[in-house]
């Protein structure tokens, strides 16, 4: 896969990075971070100094070729620098989810035989100290923020600054060491191990090479005509391949600028200050942005609200026409231009999306309503199809042919076919080599040399890939109607009041759903009505809230009734769950995908009550706090029946 | 001493601009040097004796908790320390200087900062501006230059802003930097108030019920901040708190007041075992 390496530069991240340092030097910014209220920049040159010092420091501490560096924390330049430093020495970064519990970290640190860990702060240091005894290979923990660590006596705890200091001394004593180590790094070497979030079973470590990732990123940059001044926002969990690819891989391959927000709470403010020209978010991010817009509109004055409602209604109608290949009428066109002037322009500016040339979503299936909403605002949103194991792209829509329910044609380097059951199978140069130390799972994941994605879908007459759901989740109702829960759930999640939904109906007479209300949005709604509530559980069972959600379900049923394939899967019954689905309770993954098997087992009493005459059900559920303590909440949940249309 | 503090003698974070409050000290001394000594303090309002013959010391670098039932005189004690009330009898020796009367602004200038039981912020001003007011005593440029935001005033303001940004980072309130504090939830307002107190780089920080009205998560956060302030900057802290769990967890020493008298003093464990304290809290009749 060394084809097309320009200027004879190796397809490895260290080599590409050094090339960028030479080419872009002090002129261009590699990373920016908002800190102390100001955007602080690292040019490629500045970054190189810190990365080299840190890499040499790691070497001084005994980090060798093949060693793995665990990385835990929010998106911080120093942590991305650490990834490169490890790669320069022929090592492998293993990013972990920063909100993982100790046991989850223990599994990965132990499984990946991580000897070194680079963590953000005390919170993560504490977790590392907690697992150190059980992970004998872990011998050095390096932290970024010293805060709160003053009295930690452990000698294996080191600050980044002290490691860099060691590196400077080591570099003086060993001139040429780093260059020699970097020479040894080959495109076939492992560049990263990303642990999949695991909707089923233990996480699996996906091994991806320098060559694969760089090949795929170079193709994408060409395909999407991403300009050299591309600026992006690094705000997704570093452990997710999506962030690794978007913030690390493409920026090093394309020489792009990456911006790290001040904190997780300030992402939307920081987005507005940066105004990136490329923006990527999984469906839940788009859902969140949509909800925050709707909440703000609720709080807006009467005239603004009316304007917003009128113009979004109009834009949605026009978008529907476009989806069917029709053009808007002259009158509609004129009014929509007015809408952009009065409402959408200012709104996009407010969201920090006004400079976005291309916006992307992937990693899960987006609801067509959410998708159409952003398209209708004038954002060039594209839904691609990707998988960690494919490093990462499988299909990407072309700019002139974008639809909400498909993911565009297969990328040229990937070969796609289908199994008997309609599961998507892929083969190509970027498909991963193996799951780390898990030959059984690796073997199981392939069929005749094709990787089994686990997604059910089709290729339509225009050559676009369309995904229904995870293959194992697609099933049938009792009467044989096809039932793809994700489609129904996505329609529900379009509602600003519904945060999460789990549809059930496999081998049952009808479809029922369990709802998580959006506490912010419903909380705001109830405040406007002077309704007091004490907790999520209390709010979720208010009769007014149940009526509110019932209305949303009726709307979804109307929409389902309008689609031939889905008509038979209208929702008959629903209830609102008394707790939010939470990754700490293992109900959803860290990337917030529902773990269906676990949920249907945990809430089996609720699910079976759907299929009796009961109009309420008593239940209790275990809740895990972030520190691992647990408690139980009990509730009496009402089951509401909704009329079926047609 | 942790390994990374050896050798280089540098602060762990190279670009860390938040200078330690009250000067960098070698670890919290938590020692015996009294920062403040109160001797035989008595305070009365008309016929009501709020404080009766109270003596105690606040040691440099410690976290001291003042506890007691409602109306025991805890807030009055803080008000005496920072010069808001003037006791009829008794003296206070602070940093080696004994005085009978001191006004609040003098106390503030000498390094005593406080927060209030009922939040006392400027509701219409942003978080940032509220914390900036805590820097007021440190500003040297005259009012006219400040108003014109010109020359040395500009330079000075940048210096102070840097400091305040350090506090905002420390307290993790970046997301509310520009929000008027009146719109913030209670727990965050308390945090902003702590920020304003820290802005004056106090040697002695007085906290009046820093955790009142908070949920468990907010309390945990606040505990973390109090411990970190004490730990990182060596700031001496005296706090009033009703949540016994919190008091026993974070304070080095505890003083117990009841009906204006000091009835016990010692480590949390000693105080917890003290029969007089138990009686006071369980409400044994006072003859």
What DSSP string runs through A337-355? HHHIIIIIHHHHHHHT-TT
Chain A neighbors of B21, CB-CB under 8 A: none
Structure tokens at B148: 């014109």
When pLDDT is averaged across residues B259-267 and rounded to a whole number, the result is: 92
Rounded-to-integer distance, Cα A117 and Cα A82, Å: 10
When pLDDT is averaged across residues B6-21 and rounded to a whole number, the result is: 36
CB neighbour list of residue B236: distance below 8 Å, 6 or more residues apart: B35, B58, B59, B60, B61, B62, B63, B64, B203, B204, B205, B230
Chain A neighbors of B227, CB-CB under 8 A: 148
Structure tokens at A70: 């665990």
When pLDDT is averaged across residues A621-627 and rounded to a whole number, the result is: 76
Question: What crossing angle do the helices spanning A543-561 and A485-493 adopt, rounded to 10°?
Answer: 120
The answer to ipTM > 0.85 is no
- CB-based contact A165 B227, cutoff 8 Å: no
> Which 8-state DSSP code applies to residue A543?
H
Handedness of CA A593, A597, A598, A601 (dihedral sign): positive
Chain B neighbors of A40, CB-CB under 8 A: 15
Ramachandran class of A90: left when φ > 0, alpha when ψ lies in -120 to 50, beta otherwise: left
| pLDDT value, residue A482 | 87
User: For chain A, what percent of residues have pLDDT higher than 90?
Assistant: 76
Confidence of residue A200 (pLDDT cuts 50, 70, 90): low
| pLDDT value, residue B7 | 34
Rounded-to-integer distance, Cα B175 and Cα B173, Å: 5
Give Dmax over CA atoms of chain A in angstroms.
Answer: 81
Strands B48-59 and A630-638: unpaired
| pLDDT value, residue A449 | 93
SS3 for B258? strand
User: For chain B, what percent of residues have pLDDT higher than 70?
Assistant: 87
| The residue to which tokens 């979804």 are assigned | A556
Chain A neighbors of B177, CB-CB under 8 A: 37
Taking the CA atoms of residue B44, residue B45, residue B46 and residue B48 in that order, the dihedral angle to the nearest 10 degrees is: -70
The DSSP result for A355-394, as a single string, is T-SEEEE-SSPPPHHHHHHHHHTT--EEE-EEEGGGTEEE
| pLDDT value, residue B14 | 32
Q: Which residues of A touch B (CB under 8 A)?
A: 34-38, 40, 144-155, 157-162, 165, 262-263, 265-266, 269
The DSSP result for A466-494, as a single string, is EEEEEGGG-EE-TT--EE-HHHHHHHHHT
B32 exposed, middle or buried (CB, 10 Å; 0-12, 13-18, 19+)? exposed
Cβ pairs bridging A and B (under 8 Å): 77
Structure tokens at B48: 């009501």
User: A621 has which bridge partners?
Assistant: A633
When pLDDT is averaged across residues B40-55 and rounded to a whole number, the result is: 90
The torsion angles phi and psi of A117, rounded to 5 degrees, stand at -130, 135
- CB-based contact B172 A157, cutoff 8 Å: no
User: Which of B1, B3, B4 would you mutate first to test chain A, the one with the most A CBs within 10 A?
Assistant: B4
| The residue to which tokens 């001139």 are assigned | A175
Confidence of residue B156 (pLDDT cuts 50, 70, 90): confident
Q: Note the pLDDT tens digit of each residue in A389-398.
A: 999 899 999 8
Q: Which of A158-172, A479-493, A618-632 has the highest mean pLDDT?
A: A158-172
| pLDDT value, residue A400 | 84
Rounded-to-integer distance, Cα A207 and Cα A436, Å: 6
Chain B neighbors of A54, CB-CB under 8 A: none
The torsion angles phi and psi of A618, rounded to 5 degrees, stand at -85, 135
Where along chain B do its domains lie? Answer: 122-201
Asked if the peptide bond before residue A392 counts as cis, ω within 30 degrees of 0, the response is: yes
When pLDDT is averaged across residues B173-191 and rounded to a whole number, the result is: 92
Structural fold of domain A15-271: Rossmann fold (3.40.50)
| pLDDT value, residue A1 | 44
Confidence of residue B109 (pLDDT cuts 50, 70, 90): confident
HSE, CB side, 13 Å, CA atoms: give it for residue A39: 19
Rounded-to-integer distance, Cα A213 and Cα A220, Å: 11
Confidence of residue A228 (pLDDT cuts 50, 70, 90): very high
Rounded-to-integer distance, Cα B228 and Cα A554, Å: 52
Rounded-to-integer distance, Cα A639 and Cα A642, Å: 10
- CB-based contact B175 A265, cutoff 8 Å: yes
Structural fold of domain A384-447+459-467: Luciferase; domain 3 (2.30.38)
SS3 for A292? helix
| pLDDT value, residue B282 | 65
| pLDDT value, residue B28 | 39
- CB-based contact B165 A38, cutoff 8 Å: yes
Closest CA to A502 of A598, A435, A406: A598
- CB-based contact B161 A37, cutoff 8 Å: yes
Residue A630 Cα to chain centre, angstroms: 27
| pLDDT value, residue A259 | 97
**Strand extents, DSSP E, chain B:** 34-45, 48-59, 63-67, 89-94, 97-99, 112-115, 204-208, 236-240, 253-258, 261-266
Structure tokens at A372: 């159409």
Q: Are A37 and B165 in contact (CB under 8 A)?
A: yes
Q: How far apart are the first and last CA of chain B?
A: 52
User: A361 has which bridge partners?
Assistant: A383
Residue A448: count other Cβ atoms within 10 Å of its Cβ: 8
Indicate the residue of A40, A145, A155 with minimum beta-carbon distance to B13: A145
Q: Note the pLDDT tens digit of each residue in A539-557.
A: 999 999 999 999 999 999 9
How many residues belong to chain B?
A: 287
Residue A330: count other Cβ atoms within 10 Å of its Cβ: 8
The torsion angles phi and psi of A548, rounded to 5 degrees, stand at -60, -45
| pLDDT value, residue B283 | 63
Q: Note the pLDDT tens digit of each residue in A127-163.
A: 999 999 999 999 999 999 998 888 899 999 999 999 9
The DSSP result for B66-88, as a single string, is EE-STTSSHHHHHHHHTTSS--S
Residue A189: count other Cβ atoms within 10 Å of its Cβ: 18
Where along chain A do its domains lie? Answer: 15-271, 281-382, 384-447+459-467, 473-641
Core vs surface per residue A576-611: b (16+ CB within 10 A) or e: bbbbbbebbbbbbbbbbbbbbebbbebbeebbebbe
- CB-based contact B165 A155, cutoff 8 Å: no
**Cα dist from A608 to A479, A504, A513, A514, A540, whole Å:** 18, 10, 12, 12, 20
- CB-based contact B10 A165, cutoff 8 Å: yes
Chain A neighbors of B170, CB-CB under 8 A: 147
**Cα dist from B44 to A258, B89, B207, whole Å:** 63, 10, 22
CB neighbour list of residue A638: distance below 8 Å, 6 or more residues apart: A541, A546, A575, A576, A615, A616
The DSSP result for B139-167, as a single string, is --S-HHHHHHT-THHHHHHHHHHHHHHHH
Rounded-to-integer distance, Cα A566 and Cα A557, Å: 10
Is the pLDDT confidence value at A445 over 90? yes
Q: Are B184 and B126 in contact (CB under 8 A)?
A: no
**Greater pLDDT, A76 or A564:** A76
| pLDDT value, residue A199 | 63
Interchain CB contact of B270 with A (< 8 Å): no
Q: Which CATH number fits domain A473-641: 3.40.50.300, 3.40.640.10, 3.30.300.30, 3.30.565.10?
A: 3.30.300.30
**Cα dist from B93 to A359, A477, B81, B230, whole Å:** 65, 81, 10, 22
**Cα dist from A79 to A82, A94, A142, A266, whole Å:** 5, 11, 10, 19
A638 exposed, middle or buried (CB, 10 Å; 0-12, 13-18, 19+)? middle
Q: What is the CA angle B111-B114-B118, rounded to 5?
A: 165
């Amino acid at each position: 896969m060394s084809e097309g390496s320009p200027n004879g530069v190796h397809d490895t991240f260290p080599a590409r990075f050094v090339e960028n340092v030479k080419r872009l030097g002090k002129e261009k910014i590699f990373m920016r971070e908002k800190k102390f209220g100001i955007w602080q920049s690292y040019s490629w040159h500045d970054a190189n100094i810190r990365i080299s010092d840190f890499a040499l420091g790691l070497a001084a501490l005994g980090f060798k070729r093949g060693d793995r560096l665990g990385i835990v924390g929010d998106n911080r330049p120093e942590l991305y620098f650490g990834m490169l430093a490890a790669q320069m020495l022929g090592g492998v970064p293993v990013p972990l989810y920063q909100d993982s519990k100790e046991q989850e970290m223990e599994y990965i640190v132990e499984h990946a035989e991580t000897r070194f860990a680079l963590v953000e702060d005390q919170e993560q240091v504490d977790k590392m100290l907690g697992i150190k005894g059980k992970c004998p290979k872990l011998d050095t923990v390096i932290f970024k923020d010293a805060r709160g660590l003053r009295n930690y006596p452990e000698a294996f705890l080191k600050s980044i600054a002290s490691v860099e200091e060691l590196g400077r001394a080591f570099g003086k004593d060993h001139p040429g060491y780093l260059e020699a180590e970097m020479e040894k790094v080959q495109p076939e070497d492992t560049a990263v191990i990303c642990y999949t979030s695991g909707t089923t079973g233990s996480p699996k470590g996906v091994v991806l090479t320098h060559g694969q990732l760089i090949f795929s990123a170079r193709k994408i940059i060409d395909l999407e005509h991403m300009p050299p001044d591309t600026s992006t926002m690094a705000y997704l969990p570093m452990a997710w391949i999506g962030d690794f690819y978007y913030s690390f891989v493409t920026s090093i391959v394309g020489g792009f600028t990456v911006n790290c927000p001040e904190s997780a709470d300030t992402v939307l403010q920081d987005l507005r200050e940066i105004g990136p020209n490329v923006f990527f978010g999984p469906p839940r991010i788009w859902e969140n942005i949509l909800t925050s817009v709707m909440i703000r509109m609720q709080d807006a004055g009467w005239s603004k609200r009316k304007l917003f409602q009128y113009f979004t209604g109009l834009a949605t109608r026009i978008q529907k026409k476009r989806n069917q290949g029709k053009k808007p009428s002259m009158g509609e066109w004129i009014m929509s231009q007015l809408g952009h002037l009065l409402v959408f322009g200012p709104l996009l500016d407010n969201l920090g999306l006004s400079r976005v040339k291309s916006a992307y979503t992937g990693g899960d299936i987006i609801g067509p309503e959410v998708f159409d909403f952003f398209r209708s605002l004038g954002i060039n949103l594209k839904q691609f199809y990707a998988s960690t194991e494919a490093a990462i792209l499988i299909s990407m829509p072309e700019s002139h042919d974008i639809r909400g329910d498909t993911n565009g044609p297969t990328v040229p380097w990937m070969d796609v076919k289908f199994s008997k059951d309609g599961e998507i199978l892929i083969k190509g140069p970027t498909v991963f080599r193996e799951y780390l130390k898990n030959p059984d799972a690796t073997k199981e994941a392939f069929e005749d040399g094709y990787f089994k994605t686990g997604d059910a879908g089709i290729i339509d007459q225009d050559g676009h890939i369309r995904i229904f759901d995870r293959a194992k989740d697609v099933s049938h109702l009792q009467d044989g109607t096809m039932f793809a829960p994700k489609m129904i759930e996505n329609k529900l999640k379009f509602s600003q009041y519904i945060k999460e939904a789990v549809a059930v109906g496999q081998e049952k007479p009808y479809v029922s759903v369990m709802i998580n209300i959006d506490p912010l949005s419903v909380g705001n709604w109830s405040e406007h009505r002077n309704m007091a509530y004490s907790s999520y559980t209390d709010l979720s069972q208010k009769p007014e809230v149940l009526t509110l959600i019932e209305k949303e379900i009726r709307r979804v049923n109307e929409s389902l009734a309008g689609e031939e394939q889905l008509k038979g899967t209208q929702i008959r019954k629903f209830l609102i769950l008394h707790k939010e689905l939470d990754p700490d309770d293992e109900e959803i993954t860290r990337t917030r995908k529902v773990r269906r098997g676990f949920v249907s087992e945990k809430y089996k009493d609720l699910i079976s009550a759907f299929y009796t005459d009961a109009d309420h059900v008593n239940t209790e559920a275990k809740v895990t706090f972030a520190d691992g303590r647990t408690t139980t909440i009990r509730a009496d949940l009402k089951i509401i029946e909704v009329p079926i249309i047609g | 001493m942790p390994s990374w503090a050896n050798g280089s003698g540098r602060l762990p974070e190279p670009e860390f601009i938040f200078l330690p409050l009250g000067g960098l000290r070698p670890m919290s001394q938590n020692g015996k040097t009294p920062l403040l000594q109160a001797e035989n303090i008595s305070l009365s309002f008309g016929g009501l004796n709020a404080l009766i013959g109270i003596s105690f010391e606040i040691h440099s670098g410690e976290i001291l908790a003042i506890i007691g039932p409602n109306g025991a005189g805890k807030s009055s004690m803080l008000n005496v320390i920072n010069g808001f009330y003037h006791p009829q009898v008794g003296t206070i020796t602070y940093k080696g200087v004994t005085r009978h009367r001191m006004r609040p602004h003098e106390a503030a200038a000498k390094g005593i900062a406080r927060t209030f039981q009922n939040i006392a912020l400027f509701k219409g001003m942003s978080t940032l501006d509220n914390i900036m007011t805590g820097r007021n005593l440190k500003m040297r440029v005259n009012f006219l230059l400040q108003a014109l935001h010109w020359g040395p005033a500009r330079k000075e303001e940048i210096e102070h802003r840097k400091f305040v940004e350090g506090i905002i980072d420390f307290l993790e309130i970046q997301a509310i930097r520009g929000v008027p504090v009146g719109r913030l939830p209670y727990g965050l307002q308390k945090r902003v108030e702590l920020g304003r107190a820290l802005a004056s780089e106090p040697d002695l920080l007085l906290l009046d019920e820093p955790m009142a009205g908070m949920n468990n998560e907010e309390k945990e956060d606040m505990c973390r901040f109090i411990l970190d302030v004490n730990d990182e900057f060596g700031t001496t802290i005296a706090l009033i708190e009703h949540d016994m769990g919190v008091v026993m967890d974070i304070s080095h020493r505890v003083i117990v007041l009841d009906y204006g008298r000091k009835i016990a003093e010692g480590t949390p464990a000693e105080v917890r075992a003290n029969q007089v304290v138990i009686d006071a809290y369980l409400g044994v009749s006072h003859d």
